[in-house]
Each structure stands twice: as structure tokens, then as C-alpha cells.
């Protein structure tokens, strides 16, 4: 569904990523690791077309990203759910409205999606908190709300950038369980993380591949993970 072939990305003339090749197929589960500043977030941005590769080819759902116009990119992004590291909520709006924002961006009437919204809120355990504002939520509740927002348009791919970085172990496992459930429904999942314990926990449940960015290139992580 998302394929990178010999992709490079340079920032200010310096190559941050070089010759990356990766295929996110239907039902695949990947972890992306690497030290801070290695380019994990940049790689995710290349996948959901916030950034354009400076070399190589990015294909999204069979289309070359280089040939897509603004409207085409907007349509493609509806099929990719993003869980940002910083959540990016509008603090003056209640949780329900924050989760529904992608519907507004896509020009879809919320009224026709109330059942799906209620179901999502229940699935992530936030139905009782639907009218709370983001500052009133705990870190775990914010991350679950971010996941619900990423899913409101029923995407085929979910990209999560350090989704458990500020969570305790119990809440990290809860979020992982939700992502594993989505994978079993056929969604392609990629999680950027530093948490090796989370990776080991996931590999006991799903056939997860672990890839690492090292010196700007992608490599398969060792079997000890």
C-alpha cells in the first residue's frame, strides 16, 4: 500500500536518509527504531506525503507520489491514519469534536458518522470522556483519543510516531492491544518507537518486523529484539 524504493531525503543540503526501500503491504506490522534525530519522524512524513523525497520513488496505493497534485494527496491521506507524537489537539474543543475533525477536512457530514464516532469512543474507552477537553485528559487518554481520530476515516494504513513515549507500561500495553486488533482486521501498522519492551510484547502476538535507521539507511533489526 505504501512502497519506498531507493528513497533519499536531504535537508539543507545534508542527506538525512539515503537509499531507503520499504514495502508496507496489507496486514503488515512494522516497528521502526533508531536513535533520536536519526530520521524516524521524517520517514513517516515521507510516507504520508507531508514531505517529498529528494531521490527515489514513493508509491502510495499504486500511484507515484511525485505525480500527485494537491487534491490527489488529500484523497490519499484519507487512507492513512496518523498518530502524532504530540497529539495536536485543539484544546478548546471537546474530545468528540477533536476526533471528528478529519471528517470536516474531508468534507463529510458528521451527522452521518455519529454511530461510528460513538463506536470509536467506546472502543478506545473514552465514551465517558467524550465531552472533556484535551487539557482535562490524562496522557493515556490523549493517546487513545489520537488513535480514534486517526481511525475516523477508516484508513488502510496507520502510522504512529512514538505513541507510547509518555505513557506508563500498563497504558502502553493497552494502546498496543488496540493496534494489534486493528492489524488483525487487515490494517497495515507502522510504529516508530524506542521501547524495546513494547516491541518484544508485540512480537509475542503478531508477526511484526523490526527495522532500524542507522546512519541514514534502513536495516533489519537483530533477532534479539
Residue 158 lies in a domain: no
Task: Quote the pTM value.
Answer: 0.91
d(CA 157, CA 27): 9
Contacts of 141 (CB under 8 A, 6+ apart): 126, 129
Has residue 208 been placed in a domain? Answer: yes
CATH number where 198 lies: 3.40.50.300
Cell of 151: 481511525
Is 21 contained in some domain?
yes
- For the beta carbon of residue 111, count every other beta carbon within 10 angstroms: 7
**DSSP single-letter state for residue 28:** -
CA 204 – CA 145 distance, rounded (Å): 26
Rounded alpha-carbon distances, angstroms, from residue 51 to 10, 43, 66, 70, 73: 11, 9, 11, 13, 11
How far are the Cα atoms of 16, 69, 129, 131, 199 from residue 4, in angstroms, in the given order?
15, 19, 39, 40, 23
**In the chain, how many domains are there?**
1
Q: Looking at residue 222, what is its pLDDT? A: 60
* Sequential pLDDT tens for the chain (225 residues): 999 999 999 987 788 999 999 999 999 999 999 988 899 999 999 999 999 999 999 999 999 999 999 999 999 999 999 998 888 899 999 999 999 999 988 888 777 778 889 999 999 999 999 999 999 999 999 999 999 999 999 999 999 999 988 888 988 898 899 999 999 999 999 999 989 999 999 988 999 999 999 999 999 886 555
Q: Note whether 201 and 225 are within 8 A (CB).
A: no
Count other Cβ atoms within 10 Å, centred on residue 114: 12
For residues 19 and 180, what is the distance between their CA atoms, to the nearest angstrom? Answer: 29
What digits encode the pLDDT tens for the residues 142-164?
Answer: 999 999 999 999 999 999 999 98
118 located within any domain: no
Tens-digit pLDDT profile for residues 133-147: 999 999 999 999 999
Range of 11's domain? 1-77+188-225
Give domain status of residue 199, yes or no.
yes
Residue 83 maps to a domain: no
For residue 101, is it within any domain? no
* DSSP line for 42-66: HHHHHHTTSS--SEEEEEETTEEGG
Helix (H) or strand (E) holding 212: strand 209-214
Q: Is residue 177 part of a domain?
A: no
Amino acid at each position: 500500500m505504501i512502497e519506498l524504493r531507493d528513497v533519499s531525503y536531504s535537508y539543507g543540503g545534508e542527506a538525512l536518509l539515503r537509499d531507503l526501500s520499504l514495502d508496507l503491504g496489507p496486514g503488515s506490522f512494522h516497528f521502526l527504531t533508531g536513535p533520536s534525530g536519526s530520521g524516524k519522524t521524517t520517514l513517516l512524513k515521507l510516507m504520508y506525503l507531508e514531505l517529498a523525497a529528494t531521490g527515489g520513488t514513493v508509491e502510495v496505493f499504486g500511484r507515484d507520489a511525485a505525480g500527485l497534485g494537491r487534491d490527489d494527496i488529500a484523497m490519499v491521506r484519507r487512507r492513512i491514519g496518523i498518530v502524532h507524537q504530540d497529539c495536536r489537539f485543539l484544546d478548546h474543543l471537546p474530545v468528540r469534536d477533536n476526533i471528528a475533525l478529519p471528517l470536516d477536512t474531508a468534507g463529510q457530514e458528521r451527522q452521518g458518522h455519529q454511530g461510528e464516532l460513538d463506536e470509536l469512543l467506546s472502543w478506545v474507552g473514552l465514551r465517558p470522556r467524550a465531552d472533556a477537553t484535551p487539557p482535562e485528559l490524562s496522557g493515556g487518554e490523549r493517546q487513545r483519543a489520537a488513535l480514534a481520530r486517526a481511525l475516523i476515516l477508516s484508513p488502510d494504513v496507520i502510522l504512529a510516531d512514538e505513541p507510547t513515549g509518555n505513557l506508563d507500561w500498563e497504558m502502553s500495553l493497552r494502546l498496543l492491544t488496540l493496534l494489534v486488533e486493528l492489524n488483525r482486521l487487515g490494517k497495515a501498522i507502522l510504529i516508530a518507537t524506542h521501547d524495546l519492551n513494547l516491541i518484544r510484547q508485540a512480537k509475542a502476538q503478531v508477526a511484526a518486523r523490526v527495522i532500524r535507521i542507522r546512519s541514514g539507511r534502513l536495516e533489519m533489526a537483530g533477532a534479539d529484539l
